[in-house]
């Protein structure tokens, strides 16, 4: 379409190396290459390879960032990565920002993050076994 900006991932199928699952927790994102206040937002989904964030403003693709997740009942988790894409969020105010982690999350860490956001009494039944084998 002539004259229209094409956004990454819009209108075409993306192949993902890791499965993505919904995860909505408070986050802060801080650029590693320059000074500035952290951006406060919310995660949208998580995979072992990256995270989608909703932030109040655009972050340029290529920007190296430290994303800190505030997961209920756990210490904050800081992860380094690089912004792969950024565009206006399709459903909510702010920007959707895709971050690829510098190192993939270990499976037990990924599962623990997802489980921590389950309502009390609804822990993922297989998680204790996974955590035990990872220790």
In a domain, 3, yes or no: no
In a domain, 16, yes or no: no
In a domain, 11, yes or no: no
Say what the pLDDT of residue 6 is.
42
- Its domain, for residue 69, covers 21-104
In a domain, 46, yes or no: yes
Can you give the pTM of this predicted structure? 0.78
Say what the pLDDT of residue 59 is.
94
Say what the pLDDT of residue 111 is.
83
Which residues have C-beta within 8 Å of that of residue 49, sequence separation ≥ 6?
A: 16, 17, 18, 100, 101, 104, 105
Say what the pLDDT of residue 16 is.
66
Domain of 100: which CATH number?
A: 2.40.10.220
Checking if the pLDDT of 91 tops 70, the result is yes
In a domain, 74, yes or no: yes
In a domain, 87, yes or no: yes
Q: Based on the structure, what is the number of domains in the chain? A: 1
Q: Around 13, how many Cα atoms within 13 Å sit in the side-chain half-sphere?
A: 1
In a domain, 73, yes or no: yes
CA 112, 93, 39, 79 torsion: positive or negative?
A: positive
Say what the pLDDT of residue 121 is.
62
In a domain, 134, yes or no: no
pLDDT 10s digits, 15-66 = 567 888 889 999 999 999 888 789 999 999 999 999 999 999 999 999 999 9
């Amino acid at each position: 379409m002539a004259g229209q900006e094409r956004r990454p991932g819009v209108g075409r199928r993306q192949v993902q190396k890791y499965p993505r699952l919904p995860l909505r927790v408070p986050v802060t994102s801080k650029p590693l290459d320059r000074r500035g206040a952290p951006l406060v937002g919310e995660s949208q989904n998580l995979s072992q390879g990256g995270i989608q964030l909703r932030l109040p403003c655009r972050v340029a693709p290529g920007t190296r960032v430290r994303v800190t997740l505030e997961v209920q009942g756990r210490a904050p988790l800081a992860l380094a990565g690089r912004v792969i894409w950024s565009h206006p969020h399709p459903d909510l105010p702010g920007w959707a920002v895709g971050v690829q982690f510098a190192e993939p999350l270990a499976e037990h860490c990924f599962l623990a993050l997802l489980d921590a956001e389950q309502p009390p009494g609804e822990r993922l039944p297989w998680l204790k076994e996974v955590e035990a084998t990872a220790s």
